[in-house]
Each structure stands twice: as structure tokens, then as C-alpha cells.
Amino acid sequence: MVDETIGYREKKNFWRWPSRSLLPVPRLAKREAEHARAPDTAANARTAGAAMLIAFAIFLVFESEGLRHFTRDLPGNAVTDVMVEAADSWHALMERLGPARLQPGVRDVFERVRHIRW
């Protein structure tokens, strides 16, 4: 904590990843190229946004029960009433088709591992 050798001032290379000076600087940090190229931020933001939407979709399909709880957590009004109902029928559909049954299955296996005794 009191080692004066580690300065905290801004390093010259802005694109340096958050990493301590004690460690070898990650390879990635040395990549001037990307910075020089100026990343295509708009495209990358779109990619990241799309990836997040896909993640949401995965949750909608496989965690439809969580969606039911979530809609019930919302303050009650005409809109959330519709959402609650939609979530209920969505969950019923997912149960029928199968994806909603994955969660209990995975959990079962996990719980079995968790309760193994010596």
C-alpha cells in the first residue's frame, strides 16, 4: 500500500486495459493498431446491443417462470395486468413445448451435486 513505485497517473496509452503495473501488460493492451484504426463504434455498439437482445430472448424462452415472477413484482396497473396474463400464458406455452422444463432439470442435477456427502 505504501509502495511509492507504483504511480497512478494516467498512462500514455489510453487503450491500456485496466491492469496493474506489477503484471505483464496484456497483449491486447499493446495493440495500437485498433486505436489507430479508430474502432467502428457504431457497428460494435449495434453488435453488443444485438447480443444483449439475444440474451434477453434466451431468458424469455428458458426462464419463462422468472418472467412470471418479474411481471408480478411490477406495480399493478392496467398495463402490468396484461403483462402478467401474457407472461402466464407464455410460461404455459414454454412448459408445453419444453424449454421451461430445462431449468428444473439442471437444478436437479446441481442440487444432487450440492448435497453429496463425504
Among 32, 64, 68, 95, binds other proteins (CB under 8 A): 68
Per CB under 8 A, 79 contacts other proteins: no
Rounded to the nearest whole angstrom, what is the least distance from the CB of residue 115 to other proteins in the complex? 7
Residue 51 contacts other proteins per CB under 8 A: yes
The residue (of 44 and 92) whose beta carbon lies closer to other proteins is 44
CB 17 within 8 A of CB 28: yes
Residue 101, CA distances (Å) to 56, 57, 93, 96, 106 in order: 18, 16, 11, 9, 9
User: 64-73 vs 78-97: helix axis angle to the nearest 10?
Assistant: 170
Question: In 3D, which of 91, 88, 84 has the Cα closest to residue 64?
Answer: 91
One residue of 32, 59, 97, 101 binding other proteins per CB under 8 A: 59
Task: Check binding of 95 to other proteins (CB under 8 A).
Answer: no
Residue 39 interacting with other proteins (CB under 8 A):
yes
